[in-house]
Amino acid sequence: MWTLYRKELLELVRDRKTLFFAIAMPLLIFPLIFGGIGFITAKQIKKAETQELRIAFTRELPEVAAAFTAKDNFKVLKGVDLSDIRGAIRGDKVDVVLVVPAEYDGKQPSQSQWQLYFNDASSIKSVMSRVEKALAPLEDSLKSRYAGGLGISEQVRLALAEPFVLKKVSVADKRESIGEHIGGFLPYVLFFTCLMGAMMPAIDLGAGEKERGTLETLLLSPVPRTQLVLGKFLVVFTTAVLASLLSVLSFALWGLLIGQHFAIEAIVKVFSSIGPGDVALVLLMLIPIAAIFASAMLTLSVYARSYKEAQNYMGMLNLPLIMPIVVAMLPGVTLDAHWALVPITNVALAIKEILKGTIDYGLLWLILASTLVIAGLLISFCVYCFRQEKVLFR
């Protein structure tokens, strides 16, 4: 078995495609995800917040116009035909139209309803908040004016406007808050790299050997079928674990580098609080997952008639992989004894709890035990398939 393991592993190391999926991809995927998405998102948000907005009013009110001219990135337009407001915006004559009702005069203490017209389906999502910020000084000025006209003190005015102020005080620390968000998608990335690390070797060691005609020669050797399967399984398992290990290390390394480079204090604190023990636990949770993927893919590869057919089968594995991870992202789904028995979902939830620093170590053993049982059953089924001539020579 070990002779076969060393021989197959040496052949795979010489394969550039395998090296890419097992080593290069985990090292590249995290900088692409964290750096690329973070850079693009920050750039788009900054662009949306600083983009000049052309605004027009249905009524010429100096104090309203002054509120916007005092702000950067607002351009007040006059003389725009607003008989058809929607048409003016769609025709790119103006970006935003503020409709101030006729009953508003700024003197009488009555509430009026203003309407803000803009294209909310466009990429500019900060229009409403930018207009509200521009109008905030005018709103405060009107409140004081109305209160003064009625002889109401500032304290009473504030009490009438807001009888009480609800201030949010979260007991969750930074690590728990950010771990909740990062832990949602991180398992998907780790599982995906683990899957990709196992896929190419599995196809090559099963369907690939069928196409090359070397499987028959291997079966004629005086080595028990169980040892043959375990040798191939260990090769696939090794590449899957290697991909997982590189993914975890890449995640930790690039998280720290990006946090320090962009001076994101929260990210630096989170990654600084995640110790080597936590990283080791994440890797430990990925080991049984790697065993499940390796045994399942090797079984599919042996069943397939050709290399191409094996790729089609394994492409379908993405669906059963995505669904349990999506379940782990749903609100209200937390790690407990029930979810600890649900395959893949339990590991995704455990990784999230590890990153948050709130993991229940008792449940970790339950997850490991249940996942190892499933992996053992899949390996046994793979051995069964190898012993079936009708499966090997379809």
> Do the Cβ atoms of 261 and 319 come closer than 8 Å?
no
pLDDT tens digits along 359-375: 888 888 888 888 888 88
Q: For the segment 72-104, what is each residue's pLDDT rounded down to a tens digit?
A: 888 999 888 888 998 888 888 998 999 988 888
List pLDDT tens digits, range 21-57. Answer: 666 666 666 666 666 666 676 676 777 777 888 999 9
Give the pair of three-digit tokens for residue 86: 């929607």
What six digits make up the tokens of 287?
């080991």
% of the chain exceeding 70 in pLDDT: 82
Q: Quote the pLDDT of residue 56.
A: 92
As a whole number of angstroms, the distance between CA 312 and CA 240 comes to 19
Terminal-to-terminal C-alpha distance of the chain: 25
Q: Are 243 and 21 within 8 A, CB to CB?
A: yes
Specify the pLDDT at position 97. Answer: 92
pLDDT of residue 55: 92
Q: Are the beta carbons of 37 and 116 closer than 8 angstroms?
A: no
Q: Express each pLDDT in 167-202 by its tens digit.
A: 877 676 666 776 776 777 778 778 888 888 888 888
pLDDT of residue 115: 92
